[in-house]
Copies of this chain bind each other. A is one copy, B any other.
Amino acid sequence: MTAQPWESRQPARARVLETATRLFYTEGIHSVGIDRIIAEAGVAKATFYRHFPSKDDLVRAYVVEQSSWQRAAVAGMPTASPRAKLEAIFTLMCDFGAGPDYRGCAFVNAAAEYPDPAHPVRQAIADHRRWLRDLYRELLTGEGHPDAERTADMLMLLRDGLSVGLDLDDPVRVRAAVEETLAAVLGRGSAMSEQGTTAGRR
């Protein structure tokens, strides 16, 4: 009875990481135990601990994987002008944040559960944020923005704000405020377009 034709399924490590990602994101990290993860992933405990020597390693892998997803998503976006790309990134975040499963930014939430800045999980979060800020800065530079450094920091502020607000406040109002702020920060070239999933207005 044991060990079905599991070539059909994903390999154990991927199943664990997928399950952990879902549970960590929707329920929080400290609230989800190993037993629950291996049960829902259909994986034996020994197998889990072979792939992830400790729970913290799993958490770190979760954060790193989230970062990889986002990098891939950005890399796979249609290459329009830098400005259009920036606006598309923020539109995408607003769309995602308006969905029913949205639970805030995975990195911010993880950081809230790992206070120590020297912890590997925090390091992974810091890596992601460095990448993100560099992305903003390069897009701004590519657009010929006169103060890409400062403006990239402002976009980080906006990004963090919308991550939190979409979770805790009314997403429709947050979205409108994001569009307005983005226009104010980037200068009113072409306002963030109207193709959002939720009808724009207010």
Contact = CB atoms under 8 A, between A and B. Distances in A.
B28 A169 contact: no
A154 B179 CA distance: 10
A125 B174 CA distance: 17
A113 B112 contact: yes
Given A150-B176, A153-B177, A168 B115 contact: no
Contacts of A160: 160-161, 163-165
Interface string A89-114: 00000000000000110001101111
Interface residues of A, number: 45
Contact of A168 (B104, B129, B168, B180): B129
Interface of A: 26-28, 30-31, 103-104, 108-109, 111-115, 125-126, 129, 133, 149-150, 153-154, 156-165, 167-169, 173-174, 176-178, 180-181, 184-185, 202
14 contacts: A28-B30, A28-B113, A129-B168, A153-B165, A153-B169, A153-B174, A154-B181, A157-B181, A160-B160, A160-B161, A160-B163, A160-B165, A163-B164, A181-B185
